[in-house]
């Protein structure tokens, strides 16, 4: 059963919450983070993307970057920008995007649950991205990135959260620059905290990683690496749990650097064995399963999977698997998407214009747009102990970094 606990969050003064809150470290590159935090000394990006405070020539994964993150975190705490909660609490984090809201419970979840499969995974991780967060956690002593977990709805938990929201004022309530509303309540009543913990232990058999596989894996590896020297705080990692009925998965698209030595004509010919091709007059977002958009040499195409070219098992039926097996591997020679530097992944929130931009700039040769995976597909795959191809799901809206941080040594 799910083992969660309250924790003493490191959090900003209410007056500074909007300024501190930053987009997750892994949705921005260094240049974007540098620009976003340029006029904001309170931005949490100074901690999660601390290379922005060093010369642009500095390797973003160098030891100097992680030491700068630790230094900046200590400054934020010393100057009172961030402070520690007096006692362990739960937190309700409400996100509203385009009029649609979802309520998550912020807590810490057990590393043992992660290792023992109570927290279910659906993706493998990329070693370079793991190592980045391992170094960040070990040197700063902080879990700054929140792992987004889903669970199957429990009406009693929903009722407790709704009742607390209606009876208490939020501690933070602001709209970020992208228009997403962020509202957070502190649950500090010990009886309510105990009731929530018991409900998750008794009624929630497992949770599912929706977003944050690298952050979860890194936290587990930090605990293992520290061994007997690990503080009690390393036994748990920062998570926010959302009921599955409130979640929305967006498309997670792909761009590839080259056509693996093929001419454009040979590439298009190769595709026709497993797909029908039609030219499209506008950017194409797939309307249903087994349909793909493709952008090549300033032209959009609609690709429709031919009958009999894919398996009907829970993994084989996924569009990300069809794309992986029938195009990325078979035609473009990309065997491992976790490590191959010829492929990149574009979250659906950036839109199809980002795909066009990457190809038109000649940075990439071809782009593919996909139909989103469903939450039920995610659950089915995780329950069967299978894994999707990497970067199969993109969840929106996303939690902001910096509002609630877990310190391992507190």
141: left (phi over 0), alpha (psi -120 to 50) or beta: left
Cα 44 from Cα 46, distance rounded (Å): 5
Using one digit for the tens of pLDDT, what is the confidence trace for 246-272?
998 889 999 999 999 999 999 999 999
Q: What is the pTM of this model?
A: 0.85
What's the gap between Cα 110 and its chain centre? 19
The 10 Å Cβ neighbour count of residue 57 is 5
Q: Strands, DSSP E only, in 66-168?
A: 82-84, 90-97, 100-110, 119-120, 142-143, 147-151
Mean pLDDT of the chain: 95
How do residues 214-242 score in pLDDT, each as one tens digit? 999 999 999 999 999 999 999 999 999 99
| 271-327: pLDDT as tens digits | 999 999 999 999 999 999 999 999 999 999 999 999 888 887 888 888 999 999 999
Whole-number percent of the chain with pLDDT over 70: 100
* Helical pair 127-140 and 213-226, crossing angle rounded to 10 deg: 60
Quick one: pLDDT band at residue 107, thresholds 50, 70, 90?
very high
pLDDT (mean) for 328-354:
93
Token reading at 332: 């473009």
- Using only C-alpha atoms, the chain has a radius of gyration, in whole angstroms, of 22
Quick check: 89 pLDDT over 90?
A: yes
Interstrand relation of 10-12 and 82-84 (parallel, antiparallel or unpaired) = antiparallel
> Mind listing the pLDDT tens digit for each residue in 364-387?
999 999 999 889 888 988 998 888
Structure tokens at 292: 């793909």
DSSP label at 109?
E
pLDDT of residue 312: 79
Per-residue pLDDT, averaged over 346-373, amounts to: 95
User: Mind listing the pLDDT tens digit for each residue in 182-221?
Assistant: 999 999 999 999 999 999 999 999 999 998 999 999 999 9
Domains and CATH numbers, the chain: 4-247+396-407 (no CATH), 252-371 (3.30.1760)
What is the distance between the alpha carbons of residues 210 and 122, in angstroms, rounded to a whole number? 8
Span 111-155, pLDDT tens digits: 999 999 999 998 888 888 899 999 999 999 999 999 999 999 999
Tokens matching residue 280: 């499209």
Average pLDDT of the segment spanning 156-160: 97
Name the pLDDT band for 353 (thresholds 50, 70, 90): very high
* Residues 40-78 pLDDT 10s: 999 999 999 999 999 999 999 999 999 999 999 999 999
The percent of residues above 90 in pLDDT, for the chain, comes to 85
Instruction: Please tell me the predicted confidence (pLDDT) of residue 387.
Output: 83
């Amino acid at each position: 059963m799910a083992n969660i606990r309250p924790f003493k969050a490191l959090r900003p003064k209410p007056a500074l919450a909007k300024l501190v809150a930053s987009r997750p470290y892994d949705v921005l590159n260094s240049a974007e983070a540098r620009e976003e935090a340029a006029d904001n000394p309170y931005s949490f990006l100074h901690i999660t993307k601390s290379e922005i405070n060093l010369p642009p020539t500095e390797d973003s994964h160098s030891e100097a970057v992680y030491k700068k993150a630790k230094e900046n975190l200590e400054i934020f705490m010393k100057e009172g920008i961030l402070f520690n909660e007096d006692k362990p609490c739960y937190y309700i984090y409400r996100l509203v995007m385009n009029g649609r809201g979802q309520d998550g419970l912020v807590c810490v979840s057990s590393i043992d649950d992660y290792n023992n499969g109570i927290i279910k995974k659906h993706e493998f991780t990329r070693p370079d991205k793991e190592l980045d967060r391992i170094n960040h956690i070990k040197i700063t002593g902080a879990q700054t990135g929140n792992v987004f977990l889903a669970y199957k709805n429990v009406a009693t938990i929903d009722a407790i959260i709704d009742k607390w929201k209606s009876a208490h004022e939020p501690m933070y309530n602001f709209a970020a620059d992208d228009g997403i509303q962020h509202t957070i309540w502190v649950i500090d009543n010990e009886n309510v905290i105990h009731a929530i913990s018991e409900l998750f232990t008794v009624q929630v058999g497992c949770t599912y990683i929706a977003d944050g596989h690298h952050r979860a894996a890194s936290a587990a590896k930090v605990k293992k690496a520290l061994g007997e020297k690990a503080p009690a705080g390393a036994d748990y990692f920062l998570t926010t749990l959302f009921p599955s009925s409130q979640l929305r998965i967006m498309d997670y698209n792909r761009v590839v650097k080259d056509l693996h030595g093929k001419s454009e004509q040979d590439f298009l010919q190769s595709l026709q064995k497993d797909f029908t091709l039609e030219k499209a007059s506008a950017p194409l977002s797939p309307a249903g399963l087994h349909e793909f958009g493709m952008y090549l040499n300033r032209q959009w195409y609609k690709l429709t999977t031919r009958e009999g070219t894919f398996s009907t098992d829970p993994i084989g039926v996924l569009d990300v698997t069809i794309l992986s097996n029938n195009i990325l591997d078979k035609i473009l020679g990309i065997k491992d998407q976790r490590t191959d530097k010829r492929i990149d992944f574009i979250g659906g929130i950036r839109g199809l214009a980002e795909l066009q931009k990457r190809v038109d700039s000649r940075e990439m040769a071809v782009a593919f747009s996909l139909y989103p995976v469903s939450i039920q597909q995610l659950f089915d795959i995780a329950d069967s102990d299978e894994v999707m191809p990497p970067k199969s799901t993109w969840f929106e809206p996303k939690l902001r970094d910096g509002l609630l941080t877990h310190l391992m040594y507190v």
